[in-house]
Structure 1
Amino acid sequence: MATMGARIRSVRKRRGLTQQCLADLAGVSASLIRKLEQDARKDVRLETLRKVAVALKVPTTSLMTRLDAESAHEETLDLWAPVRRALHRLDGQPTEAPTREGLGDALEASMPLWKQDRYSQIAAMLPVMIRDADALVEVDLSHRHVRGRLLHLVGWLMTQTRQFDQAEFALSRAMDDMNDSLDAAATISTHCWLLLRQGRLDEACQMATRWSDDVEPRISRATPHQLSAWGWLLLRASAAAIRDNRPGEADDTIRLARTAAVAMGRDLTPGDDFLRTFGPVTVAMKQVENAMIEDRPDKVLQLSQTIPLTDLRPTSNNRNRHLLDVAEAHRRMHRQSEAFEILQGVRHDAPEWMTNQSYARDILKGIIGRRRTLTNKMRDLADFVRLEY
């Protein structure tokens, strides 16, 4: 099987381009192209590879074998070790017999922590909750629904913290417990996001498209649950397509998602499940994300002006990812101070979320990369996001 470097070199030569010409077209350095062709860069970001694919006029996936996704930091792995043990059922039975009411109450009480990305507090609670859920299902299979919801949340957090193998395992277990098509679709949406973070674009697109076809509602009679499930799957398909240099497909799917959002009327949270929050603002944020992937910082800043953020929190993950896109757009437009202030704001609002974002590190690296000296605030933020500079 050809390596990524061999594929880039082969297409470049067929296009009659030198390494320097390809670098100029892609907006990257010639040294990066040289390292990619020599397979000396295993840590290349998906967005960078997409720029090369655009310059070569091929899908991103045609250049990929499989990107090595950045793994979780050692501190993160230590924090979540008890959760992983419980997920794999390595800790035995709970000492007291759990009840469905008790587990349900604990899960509902923990929701503010999930919504606010309080990872350390969630990590302390989860092992007991997972063991209780497993014990309940062993006694009565009717409890599988509540366990499935819990495992879906675990898979989402494992994806968020870059523990990708564990995320896949948790989401697989969650799907085994789902007996409702819309609950399953919501779990599949998170699985598609996991595939996107791993650079598995074709898998993500196919999965999202297949499931969106299956759950597509009749708009005039659709419930918020149906609109959310369908809309989120369309957003995942669009995200995969834009990263794979298929802008037409990305536009088509996000246009359908916007149809679902208009029918929703405003951003709603069906079933009080924050992962299903969907509506016009959520779609607008994803349009901004697509524009950033397309390297259109001007469009990002233009679109972002129409998105209210003060009292709106679709989920902190979507809101903060949107803010990182806006920060990167400012950086690319040479507005370094505006970009830095946004990063500082995200740190203040969601510190545990931010430390897991390689995107935030890349933005900060771009801000300070050409400076001869750094301010104390810049050094502090660089240390906080674990940036080696």
Structure 2
Amino acid sequence: MPQWSEYSTGQRIKILRGRNLTQTELAEATGLTVDTIARAERDVALTLPTLLAVSAALHADVSVIVGQQAPRRAVTRQDRRVLQTLSRTVHDTAAGILPSTVDEPPTLEELRTITGTAWDQYWAGNYVEAGAVAAPFLQNAVVRLHAQPAGQQAEAWSVLSDAYRISAYVANLLGSRDLAYAAIGHAHKAAEQAADPMRAALVDSGRAWVYLRDARLEDALNLATKAAMDIEPRFSAATPEELVVYGSHVNFAAVVASRKDDGVRAGDFLSQSHAIGTRLGNECRAYGTLFGPVTATTQAVGIKVALGETGTALSLADSIHDVSGLQGAARNRYALDKAMAQADAKMWDSSLETLEEVCREAPEWVRHQALPGVIAEKISLGSTARVRQISELLGVVATPYGQSFAPANRRTAL
């Protein structure tokens, strides 16, 4: 398979256009003729105006089209459009440029409802949809902030912090790391203005996750630990909401520790996580997150897999009988962790069955994950008889330019 830079510019345009966009449709989107598009894809008469028009219509940087930069793995034209809109919105609102499209901003109560909708989309694994909601949400939140009377802006700052944090999470999962850093930075500033310690800790945890995806493991662990410690409640007086947020922070700190092979710290955090889950008794939602005993146990499976404790991971998985109370993304992630544990134990058929189920049921979610490729690679290397089945399965989650997921280290595939 050629490297992205080895394709011609015309070939790259055709690949980025993909099977779901015809030359006629691209011509309509660019305002060019179909013949111009066809000639561009044959590397004939590709002028600068044509290149810029095609770049805008495909929502791809010119550097990607001319081969200086490869497209992000598994990112479609729709993804690029959402990221482009989200990026412009994040930077414009942070610069104080108010949108002209918002005349009468929603009330704070209406914005809180929108916050819930955006988080629901995100935790369901619908990242593109969440990004599509995040951009107008951010515009409305910043207009609401400016409309609030002086001295009554704390709640508006809290909502704006949520809007930036959701934007950062979407950008991080869609591979736009610079945008994720920018959005989480603006979320931090908004949380400071809101004077809300809980939201400030949530933002710190979000930044730690960006660090983790950027392979800054030491920074991620330090910040995740700080975020959890900053909001550690007194168990005797803690509200369910406080326990949910603290539990999710402790659990994430355990995840980061496991990626650093720090089994001792991961174990300490896990003990706290299980204690908090037991105290809650069931899955509870607060501040855009869900936590409870099932979340604690399913997350522990992935943590044990990352630490190489396959037997413990499989034992934990055997103890889990009902994950219907989890959100979609959490259920899918647990399934991948289980499949990884089965592959590590050379349970090839079971691992393939688990992997296939999540790939078939949630292909849109799967294509933004690195772990399916890691699992598939392990199964195919361990059992050559299943190479064809693995190949067909990876076809469900192939990248836009025909390459299946590349092997990755299971400890950093998040």
| 1:94 paired residue among 94, 97, 100 | 100
| 2:141 paired residue among 133, 136, 160 | 133
Tell me, yes or no, if structure 1 residue 254 matches structure 2 residue 270.
yes
Distance 1:227 1:371, change over 3 A: same
Give the aligned partner of residue 220 of structure 2.
Answer: 204
Question: Any residues of structure 2 matched to 1:176-191 within 5 Å, and which?
Answer: 176-178=189-191, 179-191=195-207
Instruction: Please give the secondary structure, in 2, of the residue aligned with 1:93.
Output: coil
- Alpha-carbon deviations, 1:162-211, whole Å to 9, x = none? 32221222112112122211122222222222222222121122112223
- Alpha-carbon deviations, 1:269-315, whole Å to 9, x = none? 125x2x2x1122222122211210122222211110112334221x3
Distance 1:378 1:72, change over 3 A: closer
Instruction: Please give the secondary structure, in 1, of the residue aligned with 2:296.
Output: helix
CA–CA separation in structure 2 for the residues paired with 1:341 and 1:192? 33
Distance 1:290 1:74, change over 3 A: closer
Tell me, yes or no, if structure 1 residue 84 matches structure 2 residue 87.
yes
Which structure: larger Rg?
Answer: 2
- Alpha-carbon deviations, 1:135-159, whole Å to 9, x = none? 2223324422212112222222222
Distance 1:219 1:352, change over 3 A: same
Could you tell me the TM-score, scaled by structure 2's length? 0.69
CA–CA separation in structure 1 for the residues paired with 2:252 and 2:112? 29
Residues 94 and 128 of structure 1 are in contact (CA less than 8 Å); yes or no, is this contact kept in structure 2? no
Give the aligned partner of residue 113 of structure 1.
Answer: 121
Could you tell me the TM-score, scaled by structure 1's length? 0.73
Give the aligned partner of residue 122 of structure 1.
Answer: 130
Unpaired segments of 5 or more residues in structure 1? 1-69
Q: CA RMSD in A?
A: 2.5
Q: Deviation at 1:324?
A: 0.8
Distance 1:308 1:193, change over 3 A: farther
CA–CA separation in structure 2 for the residues paired with 1:330 and 1:279? 25
Q: Deviation at 1:218?
A: 0.9
Give the aligned partner of residue 188 of structure 2.
Answer: 175
Aligned AA for 2:167?
Answer: V
Equivalent pairs counted in the alignment come to 315
Residues 94 and 135 of structure 1 are in contact (CA less than 8 Å); yes or no, is this contact kept in structure 2? no
Aligned AA for 1:95?
Answer: T
Distance 1:388 1:73, change over 3 A: closer
Residues 164 and 184 of structure 2 are in contact (CA less than 8 Å); yes or no, is this contact kept in structure 1? yes
Distance 1:269 1:102, change over 3 A: closer
Distance 1:71 1:219, change over 3 A: farther
What's the % identity of the aligned pairs? 22
| 1:153 paired residue among 166, 184, 188 | 166
- Alpha-carbon deviations, 1:86-124, whole Å to 9, x = none? 111188613231222554444444454233222333333
